[in-house]
Structure 1
Amino acid sequence: MAERQRNQFARVYGYGVAGIFTIHFFVNIGMVLGLLPTVGIPLPFVSYGGSGLWGFTVLLFVFVKLDAHRMSYDH
């Protein structure tokens, strides 16, 4: 989705959101496998607690809104 954005800000924001999710994904897998030390990062959309859930939800929905804004200019 980030690659098809016309606005440079939306493209960079999309890559940033993807990067944050990817880093959290690999750090959590590394902790489970014992390859990385256990740190206190939340598992996206799953971990208990409201701040992580709200943070990831806002990140994702802002990007979805930017993508919807791109769609309105295509027509």
Structure 2
Amino acid sequence: MPLARSLDDLAQILREARRAQGLTQSELGDRAGVRAHHISNIENGVTNPTAATVLSLFAALELDWQVVPRATGARIEDIF
């Protein structure tokens, strides 16, 4: 699984995981307790999800949120 270093990365990871499991946005929403239109907005970069929402979606997709150190020399400006 790739690392998410931006909201675009997060959106792509969520979309790919959902599709790999054959779930619609509505089905994922039912599992995670999140409205399908909100999932659509997250996947399309329209909204910034809260950590609680991301954790709910990850749990529904059986994904882990892991925090790891950045490579030496990486700067925040390199991410955005």
TM-score bucket (shorter structure): 0.3 to 0.5
Q: TM-score, normalised by structure 2?
A: 0.35
Larger radius of gyration: 1
